[in-house]
Structure 1
């Protein structure tokens, strides 16, 4: 649990979405001529723009100082009683209300067709794009929490809002509820909610709900089914835009093209392996993927990485943690 200020408790921080990490790993490992390379390029660009938009919205919470003790959960995911997922950009839990926020980073002019439940963007050149209804999405989230709170006998009002993180977006015809507004209006929207509601939860009840939310956190695990033979193997040189496989020499990784030497380049490569292939690796798999021919050298490298292990001798697997990219004992 992280604390930000005296009464603001951030239970879930904003991490890059797993789909974005997967797409970026594939862009490092796929040949540019691969049939799926352009697809993952577009996916990465779209997800990166959305992630940056979410972070722009997150910064505005620092200026909201009129809330009593409250909890923020970014990128909250769970499954409902029917087994279907809910992915929520931001949850705000207060003693007065629960706020569900969906964040959109869409340029151009956007209008909503209520009869067709369709968000329509008008581009500068006059062309149109359609998007699924964010209104249906946040209302569905709200209905789920209404069912949950009714079951738990929690009399907490639930509010929903859709926020545009792109300052150039022109918000056209929209329903009156839930509200769709620019991020600059977040502080004023929160002020209005605070004024409209009275506290219905004690600090102990809020703590209980926050623990319930965290206990029910369950993320979807996106998977990529691309044969390993389609992937570039090895530790790839970042300076050469991940086009050149580096060689292990005397305790470091060396690029034969640009001459760079980098002990930490292995961490990005291991993270790619974790995302695209498996979160555990044997000595033989390490040698095959990273181009290390000696069993002894591979054992020494894996030992220096300090990875946790399961099994013994030839059955030993080295576990690749999610934070491997942050580095190890080197």
Structure 2
């Protein structure tokens, strides 16, 4: 049973919003594009792993994608799989080329196109997640659950190389196509249930309540200000800014296209790029609405949670919500990198 669906990472959503509002010639644009490609590559690797997990008996496992928790520090697990017998943390890597692991090293070497690059060792990374999640379970009084961890390489074209005295890494480092066999191996290792169905259900609910997607300050990351970005409502037909709100609909001045919902993407962009809260004034300024009455009408229709009264009212996102998330079907190949 999937308790937390696989979605685009928040960082990818933020990069998409940035590219949508960044002028084509902006000097930071190429850096954002590179980062987006990296986030998307990781996402597609996790899609591959999700495909293999889909063959598991639905009622025997709880599956969480991208679960973000807090021990002493925040940590995120690509996949967490829990059954009545054991829990398994999966770190997914979608990396091309040759990966070289040296015994006892915190660094992994990637060789691609005859170039060598040092990267964090994912085995050490998932070990840290193991320790943090173990502490989290102990703090929340969940005891007696065997905890395992794995690094899963999503593509068989990726070559893994190590020395003869370091072959034990392949107990914790596998290809995605071997994942079901590894889970079967763990089922045989932990043959008896360790927690009841009620405890398993309670743990699942507790994990979801503790999950926090944490939208970071992406403008600070790229050293941008709001003046670097284009405000207004984007026309989905011709990609021009800004549309005008006239007689209950958004109208594009360039191609004359109309829409009643074009502002939803703009609101999502605001939350992803600027702040987790907005006032009516900020809403009107960002969407370039010249009437406070129109702004109030549109803002109230979104049914966002709010706090405060009158002009001091602040509207905000519910916890762990991306207001207008993308999915793969809604993204045309290459459209973000033109």
Instruction: Report TM bin, short chain.
Output: 0.7 to 0.9
Q: CA 1:260–1:167 in structure 2 vs 1: closer, same or farther (change >3 Å)?
A: farther
Using the alignment, how far apart are the partners of 2:298 and 2:136 within structure 1?
A: 50
Indicate conservation of the 8 Å contact 1:310/1:317, yes or no.
Answer: yes
Is 1:28 paired with 2:20? yes
Is 1:96 paired with 2:85? yes
- The C-alpha deviation readout for 1:22-46, integer Å capped at 9, x for no partner, is 1111111122322321111111111
Q: 1:18 aligns with which of 2, 10, 28?
A: 10
Matched with 1:213 is: 207
Matched with 2:197 is: 203
Q: Give me the CA root mean square deviation.
A: 2.4
Indicate conservation of the 8 Å contact 2:278/2:315, yes or no.
Answer: yes
Using the alignment, how far apart are the partners of 2:69 and 2:17 within structure 1?
A: 25
Cα offset, 1:17, TM superposition: 1.5
Cα offset, 1:153, TM superposition: 7.1
**Structure 2 regions of 5+ residues with no counterpart?**
326-338
Indicate conservation of the 8 Å contact 1:104/1:164, yes or no.
Answer: yes
- Aligned pairs for 1:1-330 (under 5 A) are 9-65=1-57, 69-80=60-71, 83-123=72-112, 125-148=113-136, 152=141, 154-173=143-162, 175-177=167-169, 178-199=171-192, 200-224=194-218, 225=220, 226-240=224-238, 242-319=239-316, 322=321, 324-325=323-324
SS of match in other structure, 1:89: strand
Cα offset, 1:307, TM superposition: 4.0
Q: CA 1:154–1:37 in structure 2 vs 1: closer, same or farther (change >3 Å)?
A: same
- RCO higher in structure (CA 8 A, sep ≥6): 2
Moved more, 166-175 or 252-261: 166-175
Q: CA 1:96–1:68 in structure 2 vs 1: closer, same or farther (change >3 Å)?
A: farther
Using the alignment, how far apart are the partners of 2:66 and 2:150 within structure 1?
A: 15
Indicate conservation of the 8 Å contact 2:90/2:151, yes or no.
Answer: yes
TM-score by length of 1: 0.85
Using the alignment, how far apart are the partners of 1:147 and 1:290 within structure 2?
A: 45
Using the alignment, how far apart are the partners of 2:85 and 2:12 within structure 1?
A: 35
Query: How many positions carry a matched residue from both structures?
Result: 313
- The C-alpha deviation readout for 1:243-277, integer Å capped at 9, x for no partner, is 43222222222222233222221110110011112
Cα offset, 1:12, TM superposition: 1.7
Using the alignment, how far apart are the partners of 1:112 and 1:187 within structure 2?
A: 24
- The C-alpha deviation readout for 1:57-107, integer Å capped at 9, x for no partner, is 112112123x86322111112122xx2222111111122221110000001
Using the alignment, how far apart are the partners of 2:152 and 2:5 within structure 1?
A: 19
Using the alignment, how far apart are the partners of 1:41 and 1:113 within structure 2?
A: 32
Q: CA 1:204–1:87 in structure 2 vs 1: closer, same or farther (change >3 Å)?
A: same
TM-score by length of 2: 0.83
Using the alignment, how far apart are the partners of 1:188 and 1:168 within structure 2?
A: 19
Cα offset, 1:293, TM superposition: 1.5
Indicate conservation of the 8 Å contact 1:114/1:175, yes or no.
Answer: no
